[in-house]
């Protein structure tokens, strides 16, 4: 893998940070590339050097976080459900600005849908509709239910400024999801 120039990485981080701060302030539709450039204290052309437009920027930020969470959960496959969820909740906590903006604001409503779809895919890996508590259930419905419940609780946690530690939330979510999956 090629090493990324530090200046490029710093510039991209400044652009992403500026964009997320703007999304916390106003709706996505009203954010311009010039707003992002001004907030990041860079030239507008520099934003276009790295991203096609604000949709491309948002897409890359979303994909980066979802891929990172997915890799984190895959690496933790040898852990039990609650231990693995602790790591995911810690990731949510350490990236509070991003997730609170994406889930707890009206800035990017389609992020929630993408986050739910990612979780549906992950929950399907754990479902057994041939035996156990989900015998005879439709896999799609159970996965949809579990993913929406999970994302809804994460959304609540972030909107309420994380009133429980990641470990406490993981235990609560683990206990509830264990009843479903």
Domain ranges of the chain: 1-51, 59-180
Residue 165: closest CA among 109, 104, 93: 93
Q: How confident is the model at residue 32 (pLDDT cuts 50, 70, 90)?
A: very high
Which has more pLDDT, 77 or 36? 36
Residue 136's pLDDT is 83
The pLDDT assigned to 55 comes to 92
What confidence score (pLDDT) does residue 2 get? 64
Mean pLDDT of the chain: 87
Q: How confident is the model at residue 153 (pLDDT cuts 50, 70, 90)?
A: very high
Q: Which CATH class is domain 59-180?
A: mainly alpha
Where residue 107 falls among pLDDT bands split at 50, 70, 90?
Answer: low
Task: Report pLDDT for 13.
Answer: 95
pLDDT at 108: 61
Task: Read off the pLDDT band of 3 (50, 70, 90).
Answer: confident
Alpha carbon 21 to its chain centroid, in Å, reads 16
Per-residue confidence band for 14, with pLDDT thresholds at 50, 70 and 90 = very high
d(CA 73, CA 70): 5
> How confident is the model at residue 37, as a pLDDT?
97
Which candidate, 92, 76, 75, places its Cα nearest to that of 84? 76
User: Of the CATH numbers 3.40.50.720, 3.30.1050.10, 3.40.50.300, 1.10.10.60, which one belongs to the domain with range 1-51?
Assistant: 1.10.10.60
| Mean pLDDT value of segment 30-42 | 96
pTM of the predicted model, to two decimals? 0.81
pLDDT band at 76 (very low <50, low <70, confident <90, very high): low
Residue 177, CB half-sphere, CA atoms under 13 Å: how many?
29
């Amino acid at each position: 893998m090629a090493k990324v120039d530090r200046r490029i990485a710093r510039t991209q981080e400044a652009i992403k940070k500026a964009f997320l701060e703007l999304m916390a302030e106003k709706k996505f539709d009203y954010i311009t590339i010039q707003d992002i450039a001004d907030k990041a204290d860079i030239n507008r052309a520099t934003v276009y050097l790295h991203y096609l437009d604000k949709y491309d920027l948002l897409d890359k930020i979303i994909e980066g976080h979802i891929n990172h969470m997915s890799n984190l959960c895959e690496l933790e496959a040898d852990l039990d459900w609650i231990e693995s969820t602790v790591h995911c909740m810690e990731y949510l906590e350490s990236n509070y600005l991003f997730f609170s903006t994406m889930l707890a604001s009206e800035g990017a409503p389609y992020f929630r849908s993408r986050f739910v779809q990612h979780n549906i895919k992950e929950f399907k890996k754990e479902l057994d509709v041939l035996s156990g508590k989900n015998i005879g259930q439709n896999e799609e419905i159970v996965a949809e239910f579990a993913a929406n419940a999970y994302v809804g609780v994460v959304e609540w946690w972030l909107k309420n400024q994380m009133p429980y530690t990641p470990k406490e939330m993981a235990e609560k979510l683990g206990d509830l999801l264990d009843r479903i999956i």
